[in-house]
């Protein structure tokens, strides 16, 4: 049975491709969504990619995932560094959660070094560009396989 996975993206990620290409590259969010869907098909995951600049909408999606026992890949973007509301919502997760970042926050400005959500994630993948999402989906697939009887 195919497992549904939400790939949630926070503020400004709709601007990928034009936003700071020296940091984030020229890959668009649509490119990342296609990459995620392709990886999902290979991994027997049904991947749904969403993006919002609205913290309340992000919280609703996280609640939806928790209620539906859905694994999540989350790029919180700027919410990473200050959104305790998002951290508290993610703490209610009921399935694997992988935090992703396109760039390596630890190699950037000091304010980006702290993630308030990392402590409630299963793990974090950062610094591999769009490939960070593929690695996160692979981790989700592996974690799901481990949870299955005989896995």
User: Quick check: 70 pLDDT over 90?
Assistant: yes
Tell me if 104 is assigned to a ligand binding site. Answer: no
Tell me if 88 is assigned to a ligand binding site. Answer: yes
pLDDT digits (tens, 9 = 90+) for 28-44: 999 999 999 999 999 99
Going by C-alpha positions, the residue among 27, 1, 6, 33 that lies closest to residue 15 is: 27
SS3 call for 114: coil
101 labelled catalytic: yes
User: Quick check: 104 pLDDT over 60?
Assistant: yes
Domain count, the chain: 1
Tell me if 53 is assigned to a ligand binding site. Answer: no
d(CA 27, CA 91): 30
Catalytic residue among 84, 101, 113, 133: 101
Catalytic residue among 24, 82, 113, 133: 24
d(CA 124, CA 3): 21
Range of the domain at 117: 3-147
84 labelled catalytic: no
User: Quick check: 88 pLDDT over 70?
Assistant: yes
Tell me if 125 is assigned to a ligand binding site. Answer: no
> If you average pLDDT over each of 17-26, 73-82, 100-109, which comes out highest?
73-82
CATH number of the domain encompassing residue 16: 3.40.50.9100
């Amino acid at each position: 049975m195919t497992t549904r996975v939400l790939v949630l993206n926070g503020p400004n990620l709709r601007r990928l491709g034009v936003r700071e290409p020296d940091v984030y590259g020229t890959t668009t969010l649509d490119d990342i969504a296609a990459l995620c869907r392709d990886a999902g098909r290979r991994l027997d995951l049904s991947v749904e990619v969403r993006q919002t600049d609205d913290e309340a909408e992000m919280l609703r999606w996280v609640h939806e995932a928790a209620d539906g026992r859905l694994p999540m890949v989350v790029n919180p973007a700027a919410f990473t560094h200050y959104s305790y509301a998002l951290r508290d919502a993610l703490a209610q997760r009921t399935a694997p959660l992988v935090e992703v970042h396109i760039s390596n926050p630890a190699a950037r400005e000091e304010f980006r070094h702290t993630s308030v959500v990392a402590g409630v994630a299963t793990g974090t993948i950062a610094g591999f560009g769009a490939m960070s999402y593929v690695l996160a989906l692979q981790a989700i697939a592996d974690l799901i396989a481990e949870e299955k009887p005989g896995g």
